[in-house]
Amino acid sequence: MTAPLYATGAIGEEAGFIAIFFLGLLFGFFLERAGFGSARKLTSIFYFKDWAVLRVMFTAIVVAMLGLLYFTGIGWMEADAVTQKETFLGAQIAGGLLLGAGFIIGGYCPGTSAVAAASGKLDAIAYLGGMLFGTLVFAGAYDWLQPLYQWGAMGVKTLPDVLGWQPGLVAAAVVLMAVGAFAATEIWGNPTIDLSRAWQLRVTPQAAAAGFAVVLAFGLVVGYGMAGRVKPVMAESAAPAATAVSVQPASTQPGVMTAPAAAPAPIAPPGGAVRKFKKGKSCS
Amino acid sequence: MNSVESRFWNPYLAGVAIGLTLLTAFYVLGTGLGASGAFTQFLAAAGEKLAPAWTETNRYLRQYAGEGKNPLKDWMVFQFAGVFLGGLIGAVTAGRLKFEAERGPRSTARQRLLLAFLGGAITGVAARLARGCTSGQALTGGAQLALGSWAFMMAVFAAAFSLAYFVRRQWQ
C-alpha cells in the first residue's frame, strides 16, 4: 500500500484535483453544519458564550493527529511523503496575532468566510474582498516584509523534536489537554452538573468517545516506547493485545515506529521522487 | 435555542467529521486542508489579467503566475470551490440560506460591513505572513504537531480573546 496516494504516484493529477474538490466540499458542509457559517456564532467563543469553535477544532485535530500517527506507525502511510509544515516561529506568532485580530474584527477566518458567503452573508462577502485586498498588500510589501516573513526560520520542527519526547507521548498530552478543555467548558457555567455527585453521572457518548481517544493515545505511547526499546530488530512476540495493532506490522519495517527525526525513509518512493501538490511552498 | 440553531450538529460530532476529512486529505494527497492560499492564486490570476507587468516583477506573485503557470489550476482553488459549494449545500438543506449582514440589533449594516472588510484585510496579510490560516496552520499543522502551527494557534486565540472587548458593539 502506497499512501499518500497522490504523493507516491498511485493516483494522477486529475484524480488529485477531483479528490481535493470533494474533500473541500465535505469540509465546507461540515463547517456549515457546525454552525460556522455565522460570524456571531464563531466569535461568541471570545465572549465566553459558546465553546463550539474550541470543541470542533480540537476534536478535529485529535482525530486527524491520532489517525496520522497510527497510519504512519503501522506503515499504511509513508511519513516522509506527507508534506511537513516548516516552522518560522517569529513570523507565525506575528501572523497568528494579526490573524486573531482580523478574526475578531471581521468575524470570520478564511475558510469559514467562504461557507458564510455561500450561506448568503453579505458581511462574509465584504470579508472575502478584504482578504483579497490584504493579500495584495502583502504581495506589494513582500520585499520590505522579508525580515519579518523569515523571522525564526527553523525548517521542519515538530513538538516532539522540541520537547524531546516520543510522538506518542506528545499526542497523549494533546489528547489529555483537549479532553480537559472540553470537560472544563462543559462544567463551567452549567448549574445542572453537581461535581460532588460526579460518580452518579451517566456515561454519555461524548465521555465514552473521550475515553476511547485517551486509550488510543496511550496505545501510541506504548507502541512508540516498545519500538524505541527493541529497535532495530523488533521482537515479534512482544505485542500484548492493546498494542498489537500499532506494534506488530512495524516489525516487518524496522525504523517506522521511531521518531521522525531519526527514522530513515521506510519505503523509498518509486524512482525516489515524491510528488507534492505545491512544490517547496508550505500549503495554507 | 431557536429552530435554526437546533439544526446545528453536536460540535464533537462535527469535529470528528472534519478530523476524518482532514485525515483523508493526508491519506489521499499527502497534504492537509487549506483555505487562504486560494486568495494568493486568485490574486495572481487577477494580476495576470489586470496588471501583467507588475505581477511578473512582483517577487511574491511571480512564484504563482507567469509563463507556463496557470494560477487557477491549483489544488487550493479546487478545494476553495469545494468548500463554497459544500457550504451552499449545507445552508440550503438546513434552510439557513439568507441574504443579510449579520449584526447586533444596535449595530448598523454599514458598520458591520466595514469591520468585516477591515478584518478580512488584516487576515489577508496575516495568513500570508504565517504561511496559512486556521485551516492550513491550526488544523493541518496542528494535527502534524508542527511547532510553528501550535505557536500560531495560541497567538490567534490570545489576540482574539484580548481584542474581543473593543469590537463587542457590532454584536450588541
Tell me the per-residue pLDDT of B22-57, one tens digit each, with 9 for 90 and over: 999 999 999 899 999 999 999 999 999 999 999 999
Spell out which residues of chain B touch residue A21, defining contact as CB-CB under 8 Å.
Answer: 78-79, 81-82
Q: How many CB pairs under 8 A join A and B?
A: 578
Burial bucket for residue A149 (CB in 10 Å: 0-12, 13-18, 19+): buried
Q: How many whole angstroms separate alpha carbon B19 and alpha carbon B33? A: 10
Report the pLDDT averaged over residues B148-163.
97
Report the pLDDT averaged over residues B114-122.
97
Tell me the one-letter amino acid at B46.
Answer: A
Report the pLDDT averaged over residues B12-20.
96
With a CB-CB cutoff of 8 Å, which residues 38-97 of chain B face chain A? 39-40, 42-43, 46-47, 58-61, 63, 74-76, 78-91, 94, 96-97
Measured CA distances, B88 to A17, A191, A257, B72 (Å)? 20, 37, 42, 21
What pLDDT digit, counting tens, does each position of B82-102 carry? 999 999 999 999 999 999 999
B1: how many CB neighbours lie within 10 A of its CB? 6
pLDDT score for A199: 66
Report the pLDDT averaged over residues B154-162.
97
Report the pLDDT averaged over residues B100-121.
94
pLDDT score for A191: 72
Residue A201 or residue B21, greater confidence: B21
Q: A89 Cβ partners below 8 Å, 6+ apart?
A: A151, A152, A154, B147, B148, B151
Q: Which of A59, A71, A96 sits opposite B151 (nearest CB)?
A: A96
- pTM equals 0.86
The grid cell for A261 is 527525526
A206: how many CB neighbours lie within 10 A of its CB? 18
Burial bucket for residue A85 (CB in 10 Å: 0-12, 13-18, 19+): buried
| Closest to A149 (Cα-Cα) out of A90, A100, A102 | A90
Q: How many whole angstroms separate alpha carbon A26 and alpha carbon A245? A: 29
Q: Give pLDDT tens digits along chain A (284 positions).
A: 578 888 888 888 889 999 999 999 999 999 999 999 999 999 999 999 999 999 999 999 999 999 999 999 888 898 888 999 999 999 999 999 999 999 999 999 999 999 999 999 999 999 999 999 999 999 999 999 999 999 999 999 999 999 999 999 999 999 999 999 998 998 876 777 776 766 666 778 888 888 888 888 888 888 888 887 654 443 344 444 433 344 344 334 444 444 444 444 444 444 445 566 544 344 44
Measured CA distances, A194 to A179, A197, A200, A230, A248 (Å)? 19, 6, 10, 47, 44
Q: How many whole angstroms separate alpha carbon A96 and alpha carbon A107? A: 15
With a CB-CB cutoff of 8 Å, which residues 34-63 of chain A face chain B? 34-35, 37-41, 43-44, 46-47, 51-52, 55-63
The SS3 call for residue B88 is: helix
With a CB-CB cutoff of 8 Å, which residues 118-157 of chain A face chain B? 118-124, 126-140, 142-143, 145, 148-149, 152, 154, 156-157
Q: Report the complex ipTM.
A: 0.95
